[in-house]
Every structure is written in structure tokens, then in C-alpha cells.
């Protein structure tokens, strides 16, 4: 089998509900798509969601690189030799993780179609569904409560509350949301690097009665020892997100015991294959894993879902990045019912672009 044709295109989508996190306001998603075609007629689809502040890539840069260079490296390659291809791509594009993730997805999608199996079953098939959290951005307290109640009415059981700009307001928002949604809804908090040590300790202490499930990346990613110090001081699990970009980061966090959990995003780490390796490091160190996402089209969310379903150590999912996208060309690649994500059980990643 050989790749005999490929297409690359950029697709911009607006968000139905723009949102704010500690370091940016988000109103649109710029995704890049890759479609590979083989001499047997099978196709594979991948998607990149670059973000200068998270993946270190600008969307236009990824698009230009992909459209001008990928045919030189992928044409005539055997897509079933994914490890060989990705090893080469990692050396050529070492600073472009979302570009690598896009290629990795397209190769796994092709593999699944060759095998007539969904990717998660090829990878291990540990489970066939997973609960996802849904995100409440930084809003006023009243708006946060309204948004949270709306999500609960839609069937979600887990909320991820963004904060990190004002610790006092964050504390108030958490308590009001807890009162509004009741004690059985999971609440996770993500400060997106917005706190220092004192603010983190104050926040955790003063929200203890709200029963938070975890706190994600409270402090700056460039200060891993600070993150480790906080992990030893607070009673709830600490999760690394921006502090985890690659396999080396995973090893450092695990070796020093700096966190309790890690958030693996395919766009940050470079795809499913790399995510599997990072998860293995986490498992060996007794760290639990969450699969997260950017603002990504449904086909990319599907890739994260298939990874999550495959491995027993991936206990949490935050795969809501497609829900607010307008005009997603891959809508339907995953199924959401009452806050639970399911694959559609078609071969590959579960979507055929027409």
C-alpha cells in the first residue's frame, strides 16, 4: 500500500459562545485538515489545532508547512508503517506537535479502515465509552451559575470551571456553582497557570467544602518545582497540563513526583502514538491520566476519544472542544449522550469525509 495523493486545507470556525481563560479570550478555532489517499482507494483524515500559547505554533504557519512540504515526505510511503513515518516526521518537524498529531491521526484512521476496526479496538479496547467534562469559562458569578445549570440540564455530570484571574472571585464562583448544581456533580477547577503559591493554597483551603475533584495547572508551567511543592501541601489532586508537552516532561514530572495527574492533549504531544508512550510513563509512576483537547473539530476529538477508550489508565476525559464549533466539517465523528462520549464504531476514527 502507498500514499498516492494528499490534500491539506485550513478551516476556520467561530464559536457559538466565546470564552475567557486566564491568558486569552477565544472566539474562533483555526484547524488544518490532512486527507491522505492510498493506491487501494482508502483514505485517512487528520486534523491539527495549533495554538501559539499551547503548542507553540501559529495556524498559518502549520498550514503553510503542511501544504508545501508534506507531499515531499509522505508520497509513496506505506501508511501502515506508521512508526517509521512518525519517527522521520518528528526529526523533520520537532517543534510542530499539532502538525505531527494531524499526520498521526491520518495514519491511524487509515490503519483502522484497512483492519475494518475502530482505532480504539486496535489500541486495546479497554472501554467503549467515557464521561466527559464540559467547560465553564471565566464569567461573572451569576453567568457562571447559569451556564453550569444549563450544562446539567443537557445531561452533563462533570464541570470544568476556568479561573486564575482573581482568586476571590474564583472562590465565590465555585461555592455558588456547587450550591446551584448539588453535591453529586463533579467540579474540576483549572487555573491555567494564573496563580502563585499563596493564591493556590488560599483557593484550595477556602473551597474545601465545595468538594472539588481536582485542580489543574494552578501555577506557571516554567516552575515545575513550585507545582511539586503545591502537590505536597494540598489535599486534592494536582494535575499538570501546560507543564506536560512531551515525553521528557512526563518523565520529569513522574520521576520527581511533582503532580498526581497529567492532562494529555494530542495537539501538545504530537498524536496518539506519543500519547500512548506518555501514558505508559504516567502509569508506571502511579499517576492518573486525563485526555484533554483544544478547540478541535470532531474528527480530532474522536482521536482523543479512541486513545482514552483504549487504555485503563486514562480515567478522565475533557473532550468538549468541538461542541461550540459552527460549521464543523466532521460533525458526527463522535456521539454525545447525557455527558457520555461514544465512538460511532465505524472503521478508523469513525468519519468519512465526502
* Active site residue ranges: 162, 190, 216, 241, 265
Where does residue 159 rank: exposed (0-12), middle (13-18), buried (19+ CB within 10 A)?
Answer: buried
Q: How far is CA 186 from CA 45, 71, 199, 250, in A?
A: 34, 45, 22, 26
Q: How many CA atoms lie within 13 A of 190 on its CB side?
A: 23
Decide if 232 contacts 201 (C-beta within 8 A): no
Determine the 3-state secondary structure of 243 from DSSP.
Answer: coil
Q: Is the dihedral of CA 315, 307, 259, 192 positive or negative?
A: negative
Could you tell me which residues are beta bridge partners of residue 214? 188
DSSP assignments along 266-307, one per residue: HHHHTSHHHHHHHHHHHHHTT-EEEEE--S--HHHHHHHHHH
Where does residue 239 rank: exposed (0-12), middle (13-18), buried (19+ CB within 10 A)?
Answer: buried
Q: What is the CA radius of gyration of the chain?
A: 20
DSSP assignments along 71-116, one per residue: HHHHTT--TT-HHHHHHHHHHH-TT-HHHHHHHHHHHHHHHHHHHT
Q: How many CA atoms lie within 13 A of 343 on its CB side?
A: 25
Decide if 38 contacts 4 (C-beta within 8 A): yes
The rounded distance, in Å, linking the Cα atoms of 165 and 298 is 30
The rounded distance, in Å, linking the Cα atoms of 244 and 263 is 7
Phi, psi of 66 (to 5 degrees): -65, -45
Amino acid at each position: 500500500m502507498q500514499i498516492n495523493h494528499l490534500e491539506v486545507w485550513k478551516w476556520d470556525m467561530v464559536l457559538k459562545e466565546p470564552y475567557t481563560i486566564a491568558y486569552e479570550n477565544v472566539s474562533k478555532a483555526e484547524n488544518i485538515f490532512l486527507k491522505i489517499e492510498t493506491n487501494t482507494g482508502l483514505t485517512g483524515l487528520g486534523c491539527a489545532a495549533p495554538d501559539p500559547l499551547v503548542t507553540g505554533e501559529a495556524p498559518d504557519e502549520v498550514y503553510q508547512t503542511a501544504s508545501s512540504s508534506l507531499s515531499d515526505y509522505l508520497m509513496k510511503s506505506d501508511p501502515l508503517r506508521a512508526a517509521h513515518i512518525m519517527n522521520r516526521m518528528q526529526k523533520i518537524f520537532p517543534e510542530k506537535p499539532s502538525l505531527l498529531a494531524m499526520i498521526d491521526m491520518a495514519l491511524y484512521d487509515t490503519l483502522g479502515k484497512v483492519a475494518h476496526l475502530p482505532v480504539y479496538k486496535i489500541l486495546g479496547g479497554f472501554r467503549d465509552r467515557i464521561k466527559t467534562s464540559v467547560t465553564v469559562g471565566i464569567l461573572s458569578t451569576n453567568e457562571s451559575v447559569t451556564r453550569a445549570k444549563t450544562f446539567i440540564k443537557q445531561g452533563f455530570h462533570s464541570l470544568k470551571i476556568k479561573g486564575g484571574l482573581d482568586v476571590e472571585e474564583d472562590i465565590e464562583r465555585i461555592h455558588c456553582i456547587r450550591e446551584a448544581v448539588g453535591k453529586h456533580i463533579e467540579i474540576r477547577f483549572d487555573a491555567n497557570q494564573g496563580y502563585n503559591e499563596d493564591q493556590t493554597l488560599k483557593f484550595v483551603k477556602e473551597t474545601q467544602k465545595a468538594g472539588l475533584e481536582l485542580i489543574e495547572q494552578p501555577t506557571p508551567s516554567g516552575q515545575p518545582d513550585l507545582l511539586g511543592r503545591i502537590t505536597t501541601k494540598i489535599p486534592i489532586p494536582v494535575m499538570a497540563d501546560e507543564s506536560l508537552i512531551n515525553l521528557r516532561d512526563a518523565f520529569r514530572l513522574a520521576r520527581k513526583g511533582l503532580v498526581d495527574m497529567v492532562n494529555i492533549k494530542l495537539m501538545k504531544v504530537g498524536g496518539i502514538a506519543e500519547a500512548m508512550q506518555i501514558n505508559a510513563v504516567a502509569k508506571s509512576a502511579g499517576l492518573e491520566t486525563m485526555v484533554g483537547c483544544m478547540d478541535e473539530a470532531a474528527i480530532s476529538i474522536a482521536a482523543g476519544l479512541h486513545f482514552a477508550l483504549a487504555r485503563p489508565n486514562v480515567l478522565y476525559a475533557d473532550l468538549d472542544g468541538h461542541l461550540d464549533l459552527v460549521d464543523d466539517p466532521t460533525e458526527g465523528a463522535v456521539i454525545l449522550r447525557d455527558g457520555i462520549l461514544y465512538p460511532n464504531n465505524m472503521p478508523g476514527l469513525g468519519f468519512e469525509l465526502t
